[in-house]
Structure 1
Amino acid sequence: MKDEILVVKNVNNFFGRKQVLKNVSFSLSSGRITGLVGANGAGKTTIMKTILSLTPYAGQIMFEGQPSTFNDHPLLNDIGALIEYPSIYPFMTGMEHLRLFARGKVQSTGIQSLIHMLNMEGYINSAARGYSLGMRQKLGVAMAFVNNPKLVILDEPMNGLDPQSNKELRDLIIDQRNRGVSFLISSHILSELQKLAEDLIIVDQGKVVRQTTMKNLLEANNHFIVLNTSDDKKAQEILIAAGYYLVSGEKVRIKTDANFDIAEILTNLISENIAVHDVKHEDEDLEGSVLELLNTAN
């Protein structure tokens, strides 16, 4: 395991009398992308706000081995963040926002690189009051990166982004990860998060129910065999009659486990004069894996 850049231990948080975080403990490895996953209201945003000392809490948070508390958190200078929606001044341009938030010796070349990677050249010098939701979101992302942080925390960064903008954001995150930056990212768009996250923290009702890797979570859950045959409809009927569990749809998609022997399936089809042109193995996607884990946890 790589060095831990952030350690959260036994953190509790209350809104009035309601406990919203319950003994939350996890760690982030340096130079890796960690996804924070859970249903709406599970506590993801509160966890991020707590790390950033935006809300009081009980427990321990360590950043690079040093304590960070609600009242004393100088180490947050090395953390960039976008929580919920970016705070934007409508009459300032995007460039003025980046220059306002840039600290110390941040070079203009670094700002220009961010603008280029997020494809913001066409509007960065226009007043933010005319920005679309996606344009505002990309400006918020750029503001999180502008001070060359060691850790970046992004809460629903794909909100309002079109497919091209999603790709630009992925490319930026991967580029920064390759430079050693660590990430904690929450998103309800699990198909996008699956393309990025290496590690996962899964939360439910204010508790961490699993910390794992993306690879281990996907491999631990459902596995499918997908067949391309000379007659897919007839192949489905044959396999259902033989007792196999098929996922509904046009494809011949059989739910099984990773160690399943396909020879018996092929024998069933060949005996009925169905030719098999292609066989693929697929693991459950992130959404299915998370739902199954949460259902099991409850």
Structure 2
Amino acid sequence: MTTELKVSHLNKKYRTKKALDDVSFEVKSGQIVGLVGPNGSGKTTLMKAALGLIKVDGEVEIQGDPVTFSKHKQLEKVGQLIEYPAIYPFLTGYDHLKMFADGKNQKARIDELVQDLGMQDYIKNRAKSYSLGMKQKLGIAMALINNPSLVILDEPMNGLDPHAVIEVRQLIQKLAKQGVTFLISSHILSELEKVIDHLIIFNEGKVVRDTTPQELNGSYKIRVVIKTNDDRAACETLNNAGFKMPKTKVSFLLKDETTLAVVIKFLVEQGFDVLDVDKQASDLESSLMKLLYPNESAQGGEA
């Protein structure tokens, strides 16, 4: 795969706060890359830097050509939605798309996007009557109208109802299969996990992990929760025998499958009834919590 976006040693400081701290990564053509991290970690600053909207130290390249605050030619290939869509209240949604659309076959492209995003019922209405979700869909359509090779979206699912989220997800996946590259920032991790194939984790202006969701989730052990007829007594008995458990719930990280059998066998031998066993595999949300807040997410030990 060729490199669509390359970020090298970006630094940005606002007064005493370092918003970007030696940030480097690459996004390959056709990838759907998630950009995640706590509020204030620098995600929006990074996206603005990639679009040449702010001055930064370091380098940004799109398809091998530089993008700076004063050099924007490569942005002709980029679609973007940062923070809130720029919408004129007295124009219709269709007017917006027509105004932004370049080149030939404008009507066919507009009609296709309107169909894909389910905007048929209101696209000819003035935008002042639009709900937050309708405006968000229009902003996404505006970002996609000129068939960009790279699309940068900041919180694209903001304000969307469940059906609209599915429509946007399916459109992103459809375009990615056609070679379009996406960099998406979102706090809706359960939805982001369904669409991305790569992940950049941000914290305090730094890239703390450049990975895939599968690699991140697989780096954390499965948590097991065992329900007994007396959980408090079972935990006390296990702790007295050298197993590390919380005080009220039989819960531990699984080292390997034999560990589970050892714990269950021990509980039965001590006279406890094992009523249920729940294996809790890591998802994106839990994996991020363990990475960014290891002390807060710790529950129980390793048996």
Distance 1:18 1:234 in 2: 53
Q: Residue by residue, what CA displacement relative to the aligned partner does 1:205-255 show, whole Å, maximum 9, x if unpaired? A: 11111111111111112422366xxxx452745753424677999xx8843
Number of matched residues? 289
Unaligned runs of 5+ in 2: 296-303
Tell me the equivalent position of 1:45. 44
1:106–1:146 contact (8 Å) kept in structure 2: no
C-alpha change, 1:236 and 1:83, in structure 2 (3 Å) is same
Q: Does 48-57 or 287-296 show the bigger shift?
A: 287-296
C-alpha change, 1:142 and 1:275, in structure 2 (3 Å) is same
Unaligned runs of 5+ in 1: none
* Structure-to-structure mapping, 1:27-46, within 5 angstroms: 27-46=26-45
C-alpha change, 1:233 and 1:276, in structure 2 (3 Å) is closer
* Structure-to-structure mapping, 1:5-24, within 5 angstroms: 5-16=4-15, 18-24=17-23
The normalised TM-score by structure 2 is 0.86
1:6–1:63 contact (8 Å) kept in structure 2: yes
Tell me the equivalent position of 1:75. 74
Q: Residue by residue, what CA displacement relative to the aligned partner does 1:50-87 show, whole Å, maximum 9, x if unpaired? A: 11111111111111122222211211111111000000
C-alpha change, 1:181 and 1:100, in structure 2 (3 Å) is same
2:235–2:250 contact (8 Å) kept in structure 1: no
Match of 1:256 among 243, 253, 256: 253
Tell me the equivalent position of 2:118. 119
Tell me the equivalent position of 1:240. 235
The normalised TM-score by structure 1 is 0.87
Tell me the equivalent position of 1:293. 291
Distance 2:104 2:254 in 1: 54
1:238–1:268 contact (8 Å) kept in structure 2: no
Q: Residue by residue, what CA displacement relative to the aligned partner does 1:87-142 show, whole Å, maximum 9, x if unpaired? A: 00000011111111111124422222211121111111100000011110111011
Tell me the equivalent position of 2:203. 204
Sequence identity, in percent?
43
1:273 deviation in Å?
Answer: 7.3
2:33–2:200 contact (8 Å) kept in structure 1: yes
Tell me the equivalent position of 1:141. 140
1:265 deviation in Å?
Answer: 3.4
Q: Does 31-40 or 60-69 show the bigger shift?
A: 60-69
